[in-house]
Chain A
Amino acid sequence: MTKYSNSGEHVGELLSGYIDGELTQQERQRVRLHCDSCADCDSTLTDLRRLRQRIGEARLSDKDRDNWRESMDDTTVKATRGIGWLLLIGGALIGVGVGVYEFIITPSTLSFIEKLIVGGVYGGMLLIFISVLRQRLIERKSDRYKDVEI
């Protein structure tokens, strides 16, 4: 392995700055002059260049552009779906509220007991609907990865 120190003569980290094009004109000049006469720094420079190229060519991720495009589509679908659900549930709640209000307020031939029974039937249906919905939402969440793969 090439040895160098950061003291005076060797150019050390400037070698990295040199291959990255991050040096001033003066510093570049210094590196060039130094490497002309120092075999150690010159070979380090070659090593660093090779390493940089090697990393540039490597595949450090196994996922390509299409994967991330799909990932983003998934995100948009989720967001739109979220808004859709919000509207649906909001609308349904308002509908139910108005219905219950009308049902209680409207004078009708039904007695209080009869109203209670009818109310119970509809209330039960609503609860079942909500519970199924909740279950489905929970399943969806844990199925996130299945969704992505399809």
Chain B
Amino acid sequence: MKTDDMRHELAQLGGGAHALATQILGNPDDAADAVHDSLEKALRTPDSYDSGKGSLKPWFLRIVRNRCIDLIRRRRPTEDRVEEISDSAMGPDKAAELADRDRVLKQALASLESEQRQIIVLRDYMDLSYAEIANVLDIASGTVMSRLHRARVALGKAYREL
């Protein structure tokens, strides 16, 4: 893949990657840093992307997710971070700017576990296939449907209760 094409595609993926990173890190600023670092890494090692093995999207999202996990590990060295980061979501200032519908959705998302938020963003926001989701999250592809379904049911419930 030519670097220019890759840059173009990466720019398109940035927003979704940022949404994913925000769900993992619980903070849009840290998430922007993580995406920035990931773009840097992707552009530094473009040859590690093999177009024969799938599209750029899951490849890049995997880099982003790994970067986020690194950041969390650095943040709290001993605890099991991913589950811990959940509910902070966004500060009140930021939330006030956002459309009401989106705010409610984000609140509902924030009530889920980290992996549930990620799987929903990957499927419903980024449109990844189940196989691609399994690849990004490092889980068995046979478990994607059940995990996703549980996450959706939980989100629907949280959404209605808000």
Contacts and interface: CB of A to CB of B under 8 A. Distances in A.
Interface in B103-162: 105-106, 120-121, 123-125, 127, 129-130, 145-146, 148-150, 152, 155-157, 159-160
Contact of A1 (B13, B152, B160): B160
Nearest to A15: B149
Contacts of B152: 16, 48, 51-52
A29 interface: no
Contacts of A52: 123-124, 152
18 contacts: A13-B148, A15-B149, A20-B130, A20-B145, A51-B152, A51-B156, A51-B159, A52-B124, A54-B105, A55-B121, A58-B102, A58-B105, A61-B15, A61-B19, A65-B12, A68-B11, A71-B35, A79-B44
Contacts of B16: 61
Interface residues of B, number: 46
Interface in A91-118: none
A145 B58 CA distance: 28
A103 to B, nearest CB: 42
Contacts of A59: 98-99, 102
- Looking at chain A's contact residues, the main secondary structure is helix
Given A47-B156, A58-B125, A64 B15 contact: yes
A79 B156 CA distance: 45
Interface string A57-78: 0111111111111011011100
A77 B157 CA distance: 47
Nearest to B155: A51
Contacts of B150: 13
Nearest to B103: A58
Nearest to A79: B44
B86 interface: no
Contact of B28 (A17, A61, A76): A61
A16 B148 contact: yes
Contact of A16 (B98, B125, B149): B149
B11 A72 contact: yes
A52 B148 CA distance: 11
Contacts of B73: none
Interface string B88-109: 0000000000110110011000
A106 B81 CA distance: 65
